[in-house]
Amino acid sequence: MAEEHTKISELPEDVETDDCMTTYTYIYSPDLLKDHVAFITGGGSGIGFRISEVLMRHGCDTVIGSRNLERLTEAAEKLSSATGRRCLALRMDVRQPETISAAVEEALKEFGRIDILINNAAGNFLCPATSLSFNAFKTVMEIDTMGTFNTSKVVYERWFKDHGGSIVNISATLGYKGQALQVHAGSAKAANDAMTRHLAVEWGPSGVRLNTLAPGPISGTEGFRRLGGMGAETSGAFQTIPLQRAGNKTEVAHGVLFLASRASSYVTGACLVADGGSWLTSANNLPALLDYWSSTLKKDK
Ligand SMILES: CC/C=C\C/C=C\C/C=C\C/C=C\C/C=C\C/C=C\C=C\C(=O)SCCNC(=O)CCNC(=O)[C@H](O)C(C)(C)COP(=O)(O)OP(=O)(O)OC[C@H]1O[C@@H](n2cnc3c(N)ncnc32)[C@H](O)[C@@H]1OP(=O)(O)O
Ligand SMILES: NC(=O)C1=CN([C@@H]2O[C@H](COP(=O)(O)OP(=O)(O)OC[C@H]3O[C@@H](n4cnc5c(N)ncnc54)[C@H](OP(=O)(O)O)[C@@H]3O)[C@@H](O)[C@H]2O)C=CC1
């Protein structure tokens, strides 16, 4: 019997929860990132957790940093036991550069190097601009945009400037068509997309590459839960996108693995959209989103 060929469109394994996969099929060489070190903001949950797992499955040790140390520590234990690589959990807030510097020093003390930075930390929620307070807008900009700049600057000046490195900024397609109820995250991510290009120009001569990975709707994540993904799925809204489904966390992690590693050695300042073609065809349905948002307010009361 001829060996079954993997279908070109076959999905990679994933699990909905913040747990490691029970099986994993390699697409890239398992040694692609052997003995490299990756620093991943927000690596304790969702997409960041899966990115950490996939990089570690390719030989990388990781540092995962964010505000909730308990959740990070639990994640680090899961990641290390599933992959056999080291994972250091550190508390930091990307809005506070001094906590980033302290985490980077800890990372260098533990591993002696940093090769990859993944700017994944972010905050978001559905809210029309008229209901968005000034502080709410500022908070999302501070986490998503200032946080990405702060962490990139600290890591570059402390390590990448003299040793080279690869930075992947996790963005979104929200600003491509002005997604309703997302002026805060959409503006922040658009700024990050520009930042990728500016810093790719300035830091290229130091051997630092910067690229953007922009996911679409990704199942098993806080973003999916917060932004109407469940409702969209049950209402059949994903049938209107080219690949007719949400993505999974491993699909995003594989795009990050490509951009972070030497597989993309001549790529910098680029944006890889991993959204199933969603932004091309998804309805920017203001009434549906307003209805959905106001229904969530009633639920919270
Ligand atoms: C039938 C279906 C109908 C519609 C659906 C149609 C289509 C949807 C299809 C698909 C959707 C699926 C996926 C989406 C696809 C793409 C998404 C693109 C981008 C995704 C981005 C993300 O997911 S980011 C990661 C998400 N995770 C998080 O946000 C976790 C971290 N978040 C936090 O820590 C908090 O939420 C925070 C961001 C608010 C920060 O917390 P903190 O620093 O503690 O700040 P606070 O002091 O709590 O708040 C600061 C001010 O912000 C105000 N605030 C907080 N929450 C809200 C809210 N929900 N609404 C309005 N305002 C809020 C808060 O009140 C503070 O303001 P004050 O004025 O009160 O000071
Ligand atoms: N889910 C989706 O469908 C999509 C997600 N994205 C992007 O993917 C990335 C991950 O999103 P997702 O996995 O859904 O959501 P999660 O909420 O799981 O991930 C966000 C992470 O950011 C961390 N974080 C938030 N604020 C801070 C802060 N001030 N300092 C340090 N860390 C912080 C959180 O950890 P802690 O609470 O411990 O601080 C958390 O681990 C985000 O950049 C998001 O914009 C883009 C498009 C679609």
Least distant ligand from the CA of 66: 2
Spatial distance between the Cα atoms of 217 and 182, rounded to a whole number of angstroms = 14
How far does residue 123's CA lie from ligand 1's centre (Å)? 6
Interface predicted TM-score (ipTM) of this complex, two decimals: 0.98
64, 66, 148: residue to mutate for ligand 2 pocket, most atoms within 8 A of CB: 66
Least distant ligand from the CA of 186: 1
Spatial distance between the Cα atoms of 226 and 292, rounded to a whole number of angstroms = 11
Predicted confidence (pLDDT) at residue 300 exceeds the cutoff of 90: no
Predicted confidence (pLDDT) at residue 214 exceeds the cutoff of 70: yes
Q: Whose CA is nearest to atom 4 of ligand 2?
A: 223
Per-residue pLDDT band at 1 (split at 50, 70, 90)? low
Burial class (CB in 10 A: 0-12, 13-18, 19+), 291: exposed
Please identify, by atom number, the ligand 2 atom nearest to the C-alpha of residue 42. Answer: 41
Per-residue pLDDT band at 6 (split at 50, 70, 90)? confident
Please identify, by atom number, the ligand 2 atom nearest to the C-alpha of residue 170. Answer: 43
Q: Is the CB of 192 under 6 A from ligand 2?
A: no
Please identify, by atom number, the ligand 2 atom nearest to the C-alpha of residue 68. Answer: 38
When the pLDDT of each residue in the chain is averaged and rounded to a whole number, the result is: 96
pLDDT for 301 equals 64
pLDDT for 147 equals 99
Least distant ligand from the CA of 124: 1
Bridge partners, residue 56, by sequence: none
Q: At what angle do helices 183-203 and 134-141 cross, to 10 degrees?
A: 30
Please identify, by atom number, the ligand 1 atom nearest to the C-alpha of residue 218. Answer: 13
Q: Is the CB of 193 under 6 A from ligand 2?
A: no
pLDDT, tens digit, 9 for 90 and up, residues 92-140: 999 999 999 999 999 999 999 999 999 999 999 999 999 999 999 999 9
Length of the chain, in residues: 301
How far does residue 85's CA lie from ligand 2's centre (Å)? 23
**Closest Cα to residue 246, out of 268, 259, 230, 269?**
230
Per-residue pLDDT band at 2 (split at 50, 70, 90)? low
